[in-house]
Structures are given as C-alpha cells and as structure tokens.
Amino acid sequence: MDVVVRDRRLRWPIAAHFEAAIRGQIVRSVDRRAKYILIGFDAGTMILHLGMSGSLRLVKRDIPPQAHDHWDIGVDSGWVLRFHDPRRFGSLHWTETDPTLHPLLAKLAPEPLSEAFDGEYLYRATRKRNVAVKQLIMNSQLVVGVGNIYASEALFRARVSPRRAARRLTRKEAAALAQAIKDVLGQAIDIGGTTLRDYVNADGAPGYFRQKLFVYERAGARCRVCKSSIKQFVQGQRSTYWCSTCQR
C-alpha cells in the first residue's frame, strides 16, 4: 500500500512515522467504535475520525487532489482512499498495539447495538441519577451514538416521558427503552440514515429515516398513535419532541 500525506495538521498532527509504517501493508479489517473508524493491517491499526466536516471517498488515482484533500492511501492499482476535511477537526492515529486500549477508545461506553447494552445495563446505570432520562441516554459516558433524533424516537416507542428522572425508570421500562434504542438505530441503518443538512450515505445518497419519525421535528402535528398534538420543549439546549398522552 502506498500513501501520500499532504497536510499533517489535523486535529492532532499525523505521526511522522505513519507513512513508513503503513507502506506495503494490506488492509485486514475495517471496524467502527463510536465515531472512530478502525482500519487494521498486520503492522498496526489506523484510527480515523471524520471530525465536523471530514469525508472519505474512493477516487480514481489519476484524479488530482483538491484543496483540503489531506491524505490518500492506495487501495489497489487504480484507486485511492482520499480524506477531505476543510475544517481539519478530523484525525488519523496509528497504533501498533490493541486499538481498543488506545486512549481515544479505552474509556468509551458500550455500543447501543452490542450485547453489553441491554435493559439490565440501562437499569443499573440509571440508579441514583436525577438527570432527565433523555439527557442520560444521550450522554456518551453511558452509551455511545444515541443522538437527539434517536433518543426522542426511542423514548416515544418505549412510552417514557423524556422529562422522567432517570432513577425513576422501572426495570421493565429500562428493558423497553434499551430495546427501543436498538430498534430505532437498526431501522435507521436499514433505511440508510436520517437526512439532516448535508448528510449523505456512503453512496452519496440522502437518508430516508426522516419519513418514519413519530415525534422528531413534528411539533404541532398529530401523534401517529393517539392523534394528540406532538409537543416540543428545550432540554439541555436541545429540542425534545414528545407525545404527552403516549409517554408518561
């Protein structure tokens, strides 16, 4: 594998030895942990983050780099994987030890679609927590990757009010909520993501999950279940949407 780094100044500088370490290596695995992309080689692992504005695209090798195309790695004779990031909040780390022990990854909470995240985990994690349940499930120290849309939608499906103090979730509600989070994320992945602003999926197409939403950005519209009016309020600086009839 060949590699070209045009600008090392990402969120953290790209290590000086990166090119020598990766040259001639073959990709063995591609994984994800929270928002980090892990590309595994025999010699080590690239840990990538797209930051605010980064993107990875496979492009023909002979297409000249544009402004903000910070690095390429060759993936076969005709193509390169090219990283583009105008704001340079993205990052590239190289590690030659277990990437899950890297300081960026070691303390991350469980993935919502993993077995480690279930009703019992959620129930235990919410004990003694006075914070509203919606804010807690969006806290990446509890579970990673549950953003505002998915938190609102999962709470609707579990019939739990976003205002409820986390410690007052019953065991049964915690199980329903953990399952609802998995269902909402799984469905959004199947459909291809939720279109917001400039989001496109890996094929460059918009996501369509928006059409399946029950509450998010539906303030004033009728609840799809009970026909009441969907309500909105601000919680932790984020808009929350809910049905006060369906959710208690």
Q: Does 226 bind Zn ion (CB under 5 A)?
A: yes
Q: Which is nearer to Zn ion, 139 or 245 (CB)?
A: 245
Q: Does 246 bind Zn ion (CB under 5 A)?
A: yes
Task: Single out the segment in contact with Zn ion by CB under 5 A; choices: 130-138, 187-195, 209-217, 227-235.
Answer: 227-235
Q: Does 215 bind Zn ion (CB under 5 A)?
A: no
Closest CA to 148 of 239, 22, 40: 239
Compute the distance between CA of residue 120 and CA of residue 151 in angstroms, rounded to an integer. Answer: 18
Please return the burial class of 190, using the count of CB atoms within 10 Å of its CB with bins 0-12, 13-18 and 19+.
Answer: exposed
Q: What is the dihedral of CA 68, 83, 79, 31, to 10 degrees?
A: 180
Q: How far is the CB of 185 from Zn ion (least distance, A)?
A: 22
Q: Does 151 bind Zn ion (CB under 5 A)?
A: no
Number of residues near Zn ion (by CB under 5 A): 7
Q: Does 160 bind Zn ion (CB under 5 A)?
A: no
Task: Using CB under 5 A, pick the residue from 223, 235, 240, 241 that binds Zn ion.
Answer: 223
Closest CA to 84 of 10, 21, 32: 10
Compute the distance between CA of residue 45 and CA of residue 27 in angstroms, rounded to an integer. Answer: 9
DSSP H stretches of helix in the chain: 18-22, 119-126, 133-137, 148-158, 171-191
Compute the distance between CA of residue 134 and CA of residue 240 in angstroms, rounded to an integer. Answer: 9
Q: How far is the CB of 219 from Zn ion (least distance, A)?
A: 13
Q: Does 184 bind Zn ion (CB under 5 A)?
A: no
Q: How far is the CB of 246 from Zn ion (least distance, A)?
A: 3
* Order of strands, sheet of 79-84, starting from the edge strand that comes earlier in the sequence: 3-5, 69-76, 79-84, 55-60
Q: Which is nearer to Zn ion, 232 or 245 (CB)?
A: 245
Q: Which is nearer to Zn ion, 202 or 226 (CB)?
A: 226
Q: How far is the CB of 178 from Zn ion (least distance, A)?
A: 21
Q: Does 232 bind Zn ion (CB under 5 A)?
A: no
Task: Using CB under 5 A, pick the residue from 96, 225, 229, 233 that binds Zn ion.
Answer: 225
Task: Name the closest residue to Zn ion (Cβ).
Answer: 223
Scanning the structure block, which residue is given the tokens 């990854």? 105
Q: How far is the CB of 241 from Zn ion (least distance, A)?
A: 11
Q: Is 91 helix (H, G, I), strand (E, B) or coil?
A: strand
Task: Single out the segment in contact with Zn ion by CB under 5 A; choices: 13-21, 28-36, 90-98, 217-225.
Answer: 217-225
Q: Which is nearer to Zn ion, 122 or 177 (CB)?
A: 177
Other C-beta atoms closer than 10 Å to the C-beta of 236 total 12
Residues that bind Zn ion (CB under 5 A): 223, 225-226, 228, 243, 245-246
